[in-house]
């Protein structure tokens, strides 16, 4: 199973029908394409990928900045704003969590050490500590600590207005953000699509549930 297919598979497992959006051919078309997507889709999953152009948070490229994809940045930032305006749920994973924060007015660290593991993707390598009373805490069934994988060299620096940090790594790195209020909006810095534990599946189920999806009967039975 390919890297991209993993996300779609987990969405499908959670009872929804995944579709893929391609960025526009020109940045001027990003807004219109995002507006069209929000009319047709119940929720937005932002996948992992390259670095967000620091120009979006008012900075010049710093040493350690990796590849940027201008069209993808423009499109995903327009998508976040459109889905947020429409009250539709958003799940951001890794780069997706960073895009969420930048699109809503936050900033990033352009290069941090210690979070790009060489171990295989399905292997957890550091814990995260969850904020009680958060949506993520409830989704995960009330655990305060979770073992996660780590494939990032950037991280949230300043939180966007309206977002709150709900999970931290032992070194203080923000590992999850969510919206204080309004529609479901969750960003996780790790890759739950590669982890096989129940908590990771619960994240996708919560997102699909927020999008109005229906779990297959067999899944409902297994949940109880
Ligand atoms: Mn990490």
Q: What is the DSSP letter of 174?
A: E
pTM for this prediction: 0.94
pLDDT score of 2 more than 80: no
Q: Give the per-residue pLDDT at 32.
A: 97
Whether 204 and 14 have beta carbons less than 8 Å apart is answered as yes
Mean pLDDT for 89-107 is 98
81 CA from centroid of ligand 1 (Å): 26
161 CA from centroid of ligand 1 (Å): 23
From the list 140, 141, 144, the residue with the least C-alpha distance to 131 is: 144
Mean pLDDT for 145-166 is 98
Give residues whose Cβ lies within 5 Å of ion ligand 1: 115, 150
155 CA from centroid of ligand 1 (Å): 8
CA–CA distances in Å: residue 79 to residues 46, 101, 116: 9, 13, 27
Residues marked active site are found at 94, 191, 193
């Amino acid at each position: 199973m390919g890297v991209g297919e993993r996300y779609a598979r987990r969405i499908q497992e959670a009872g929804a029908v995944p579709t893929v959006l391609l960025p526009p051919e020109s940045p001027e078309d990003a807004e219109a394409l995002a507006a069209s997507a929000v009319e047709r889709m119940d929720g937005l999953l932002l996948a992992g990928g390259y670095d967000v152009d620091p120009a979006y948070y008012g900075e010049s490229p710093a040493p350690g900045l990796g590849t940027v994809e201008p069209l993808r940045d423009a499109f995903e930032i327009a998508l976040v704003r459109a889905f947020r305006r429409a009250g539709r749920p958003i799940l951001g994973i890794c780069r997706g969590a960073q895009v969420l924060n930048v699109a809503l007015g936050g900033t990033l660290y352009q290069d941090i050490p210690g979070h790009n593991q060489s171990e295989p993707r399905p292997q957890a390598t550091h814990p995260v500590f969850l904020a009680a009373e958060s949506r993520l805490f409830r989704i995960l069934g009330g655990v305060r600590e979770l073992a996660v994988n780590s494939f990032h060299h950037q991280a949230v620096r300043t939180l966007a207005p309206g977002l709150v940090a709900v999970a931290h790594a032992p070194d203080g790195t923000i590992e999850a953000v969510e919206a204080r209020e309004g529609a479901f909006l969750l960003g996780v810095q790790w890759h739950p699509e590669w982890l096989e534990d129940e908590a990771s599946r619960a994240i996708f189920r919560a997102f699909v549930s927020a999008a109005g999806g229906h779990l297959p009967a067999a899944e409902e039975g297994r949940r109880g």
